[in-house]
Amino acid sequence: MSTTASDVAATPFTTPAAGLAPMSVREPLGATSDGATVALRDPRSRPREWLAIPGGRVGLAGLLVTGVVISLSASHTELLLPTPLRPLPATLAGVFGRIGLNIGFGGLIVALVLMFLSYALALRASKQLSPRAVLISIAVLNVIVLLAPPLFSTDLFSYVAYGRLGATYGINPYVHGPSAILLDPLYPYIGSQWVNTPTAYGPLFTALSYPIAALSISANVFIYKAVAALSSLVIVGGVWRAARLRGMDPVKAVALVGLNPVILVYGVGGGHNDLLMLAVLVVGMYVLLTDRRRTSGAMIVAAAAIKLTAGVMLPFAVAMSAGRREHSDERKRVLVGAGAAALVFCALGVALFGIGPLHLFGTLHTIQAQGGLHSIPGFILTAIGLGRFTAVAGLVLDGVFAVGLVWLLRRVWIGELDWITGAGWATVGLLVTAGLLMPWYIVWLLPLAALSSDRRLWTASILLTGVALTSL
């Protein structure tokens, strides 16, 4: 049986002692002084290295460049600023305020599209990237967006307003909206749709807003944005460690979360408390994976005391071990921790706000009912001329979500579905059926998708990211 040059190419660095190729073939290829053979490749199959594009690095570079462009142009590009901040006061412009870059509507669309494409490219080529490159890029992007003025949303001014209502004026923020402090210098910065709306946040977050309420407006803005940036990094750290515990690629997992444009531009850029809620929730998920179930239950409830959305995770944390008789006390430990935390936060709520937090559910229902075009079902119905049926569709979709939630929980309960995957799909259902879907709500899904082995959930998170970035 004869040996061809391509056979030799398939076995590089063969030696005479190895006996893998006859001397008659090896010698004409050029033997070295010690008798080793230099492997040759068929010229027709030689890859063109100069055409090989390092996609992962290009993706990271694109994210960094677009992040810098958006941050530098924020103070002079109107669409990056919420309406109450136009024109932007010098005290809120941040360190980039003196840079007069105005990219306009077209430039902003191009920047966001390129940012999304860079994100998708970085994810696709994440195996090419070193952990250091990904983590440094995430840290740099968070710092860049932190130094920009508030982007897209006035929500953080509402946080300040609710803190001032209680801490400065002695008004219950669960009963009254910011219109109760009409003469406060903060009032002009609050979005018109929220001036009569009481707080929609949990008692823990509202209590945390009290100590800093007396500080200047600019100091509050920086603090809320800094909390969002630090929360983003905590989420990345929690996802990294949880991914390793679950036997997953941590670089790929944190790339999905930490490089996500919605987390960066909307979450950190807007200083949203969703990231603080998510940071506590991700740590709670991590400690559950390490079998500290009481602590996990308590942390999930703490996250819900920041924003009620986190409560969706609790039944899945309970259901994950319900069907295993050899660990029959596991769900009890989760419930004990959750119950203890619930008592603490209920006591905190009563002490600071009386029965005010009971109005929270009514406030949330009112907000969701007014979503209109800012929801997937509302947008679709309006586009096809059936916008008047949005309220009816909302009721139907609420029922669909409830049925889907029960079905997912049952599958987790009997061991047919991973608990994080189940919680991820429940979050998808919550987002798709919501009466009000703001772009930064997409961040609720990202850690769950990153820690799930279901590629469809991964795809859903990327598609929803694209949807969020089109919601200017």
Answer whether residue 355 is part of any domain.
Answer: no
Residues 108, 45 share a domain = no
Instruction: Look up the domain containing 415 and give its range.
Output: 369-472
Residues 263, 155 share a domain = yes
Answer whether residue 159 is part of any domain.
Answer: yes
User: What is the model's pLDDT at position 114?
Assistant: 96
Domain limit, last residue, from 272, 290, 318? 272
Residues 38, 62 share a domain = no
Given CA atoms 335, 341, 347, 349 in this order, what sign does their dihedral have? negative
User: What is the model's pLDDT at position 50?
Assistant: 31
SS3 content of the chain, % helix, strand, coil (to 5): 70, 0, 30
User: What is the model's pLDDT at position 365?
Assistant: 87
Residues 104, 35 share a domain = no
Tokens at 146, concatenated: 């932190």
Answer whether residue 346 is part of any domain.
Answer: no
- Chain centroid to CA 31: 57
Domain limit, last residue, from 248, 272, 296? 272
Residues 156, 224 share a domain = yes
Residues 20, 124 share a domain = no
Answer whether residue 124 is part of any domain.
Answer: yes
SS3 37: strand
Residues 93, 35 share a domain = no
Answer whether residue 45 is part of any domain.
Answer: yes
Identify the CA nearest to 118 among candidates 194, 172, 43, 67.
67
User: What is the model's pLDDT at position 243?
Assistant: 97
User: What is the model's pLDDT at position 321?
Assistant: 64
User: What is the model's pLDDT at position 159?
Assistant: 96
Answer whether residue 384 is part of any domain.
Answer: yes
Q: Could you give the CA distance from residue 160 to residue 175 in angstroms, rounded to a whole number?
A: 16
Residues 42, 68 share a domain = no
φ, ψ for residue 297, nearest 5 deg: -60, -40
Answer whether residue 381 is part of any domain.
Answer: yes
Domain limit, last residue, from 34, 51, 68? 51
Give the C-alpha distances (Å, rounded to integers) separating 286 from 291, 451, 452.
9, 10, 13
Residues 96, 32 share a domain = no
Answer whether residue 306 is part of any domain.
Answer: no
Identify the CA nearest to 397 among candidates 412, 381, 419.
381
Residues 140, 41 share a domain = no
Neighbour tally for 462: CB within 10 Å: 16
The pTM of this model reads 0.86
Residues 34, 125 share a domain = no
Q: Could you give the CA distance from residue 266 to residue 83 in angstroms, rounded to a whole number?
A: 15
Total domains in the chain come to: 3
Residues 161, 142 share a domain = yes
User: What is the model's pLDDT at position 47?
Assistant: 42
User: What is the model's pLDDT at position 376?
Assistant: 84
User: What is the model's pLDDT at position 368?
Assistant: 84
Give, in degrees to the nearest 5, the angle at Cα 295 between 292 and 301.
Answer: 135
pLDDT tens, N- to C-terminus, the chain (472 residues): 444 444 434 443 333 334 444 333 333 434 444 444 444 444 434 444 333 457 889 999 999 999 999 999 998 888 898 888 888 888 888 788 777 788 988 999 999 999 999 999 999 999 989 999 999 999 999 999 999 999 999 999 999 999 999 999 999 999 999 999 999 999 999 988 889 999 999 999 999 999 999 999 999 999 999 999 999 999 999 999 999 999 999 999 999 999 999 999 999 999 999 999 999 999 999 999 998 999 999 999 999 999 999 999 999 999 986 555 555 678 889 999 999 999 999 999 999 999 999 999 999 988 888 777 788 888 888 888 887 888 888 889 889 999 999 999 999 999 899 999 999 999 999 999 988 889 999 999 999 999 999 999 999 999 999 999 987 6
Tokens at 299, concatenated: 């942390």
